[in-house]
Amino acid sequence: MAYHITVEPGHRHLEAADGDDLLRILRAAGLAPDAPCGGTGRCGKCTVLVDGVEASACRTIIGRDMTVTLPTAGTAAILTSGIATTAVPGREGYALAFDIGTTTVAGFLLAGGAELASESRLNPQAVFGADVISRIRHAISGELPALTGCIRSCIEEMIRALCAKARILPREVSVLSIVGNPAMQQLFLGIAPDNLAVIPFAPVLNRAEALPAKDYLTILENAQLLIVPDISGFVGADTVACVLASGMEKQEELTLLVDIGTNGEMVLGSRHRLVACSAAAGPALEGANIQCGMRGQNGAIDHVWLEDGTLRYSVIGGEEAAGICGSGLIDAVAAALNAGLLNSRGRICNEDRTIHLTDTVFLTQEDIRQVQLAKGAIAAGIGLMAAHLGIPTEQIDRVYLAGAFGTYMNPESACRIGLLPPVLAKKITAIGNAAGSGAKALACRPDALAHAQQIVTRTEFIELATQPGFSRSFAKNMRF
């Protein structure tokens, strides 16, 4: 039996069979709310109004006609600016560069090395889960066409907007570079990510090449799509682009590059040697899997500090606090440690086991646990890379923080909780959307794709889980 679903705002009409779940129906129509857990019922954040009553879309089983009201989407603060790359003679004509992140997508239109326009969007694949593992699971279970279709539609929409800003037609573009982690790359290309679900997590994109862009994005009739190779199954083209943009592979100084998102990718080295690893940070540091967590958008607490023994905070947009984003989360944990509200083992030191920032925004004991798991994995990875190179951590000359989280995060708070080694506190520099900067270099510089291949060939990948000292280091670094 078919039931009628009316979706507001917009008065859209959908049909659903008896027993369907509402999230799947909304997802198929491109209308789904955020579902950080991928629809497993764990996060409770796919909340909608069903006939005026709050309900989780993933737990709502269709058994009648209903009216569904979607939450109003906030405006996320998406970082597009990054580190300036070395100027070299660029390609003639128009070029496009995209950084497909797990959470956000940034796109740029360029000519002769100059940026003409930029666009950004939230990654629409988030309705399949906030993390890559959830999306890989959905793709393997038969939803690869949906995942591929929604990201290609998003990029085509962005291309139209970019070209409109510059008053050109998409067919005038000659080059398109796209970087992202291996899962995001494969989902865009329509390559099943089965390789990323089983050991040894081998990458399938291991060779730089140029393909007809029209085979993937029909509006780009005359462009080449640059395929950037991956270092490993979980250290991808976005990390290669960060290295390319930073120039660390050419420098004498020992540099640590850290890009923290739903996955934490790190590269350590110099012109003499490069090593890389991936740490499963999880989506907590981007606000997901946190009870009051949210993206960095209006209403999110973005910074917290201790003042006269009281936790103070700032809110994006100056509005009433609706939740807390990743940078605020790191600050809140650091401030709670300084206030004695949290001990070194991560235990909240009060009876109700919560740390209140407002009456409605607070941290739970499980939230603290999620931060410990994320920072423990990243800190262990940094230590093991240094050990692999045979150096103490303090010999690292500089630290580059790439990506939105690294840019907005307070380095002092990160060092206070042990996310980054405290001995490196004075050596930290945020370099913005370095993956986007690298993508732009790839699109504009004829030599950059071959250079990216050289970076991949040179970089030694360390599989943390197989390192003898990883478990002990991870457990040690979970402490504050």
Q: How far apart are the first and last CA of the chain?
A: 56
- The pLDDT value recorded for residue 25 is 79
When mean pLDDT is compared across 7-21, 84-98, 242-256, 368-382, the lowest value belongs to 84-98
325-368: pLDDT as tens digits: 999 999 999 999 999 999 999 999 998 999 999 999 999 999 99
Give the position of tokens 């291949």: 453
Mean pLDDT in residue range 419-445: 95
> Distance between CA atoms of 113 and 107, rounded to whole angstroms?
15
pLDDT-above-70 percentage for the chain: 92
- The pLDDT value recorded for residue 90 is 67
Structural domains of the chain in order of their starting residue, each with its CATH number: 2-69 (3.10.20.740), 94-243 (3.30.420.480)
> Distance between CA atoms of 257 and 429, rounded to whole angstroms?
10
Tell me the pTM.
Answer: 0.84
Mean pLDDT in residue range 230-242: 96
Mean pLDDT in residue range 140-159: 96
- Alpha carbon separation from 352 to 158, 238, 357 (Å, rounded): 47, 42, 14
* pLDDT for residue 81 is more than 60: no
* pLDDT for residue 478 is more than 60: yes
pLDDT-above-90 percentage for the chain: 70
- The pLDDT value recorded for residue 76 is 52
> Distance between CA atoms of 100 and 147, rounded to whole angstroms?
13
| pLDDT confidence bin for 73, thresholds 50/70/90 | low
Averaged pLDDT score across all residues of the chain: 90
DSSP lists the bridge partners of residue 428 as 399
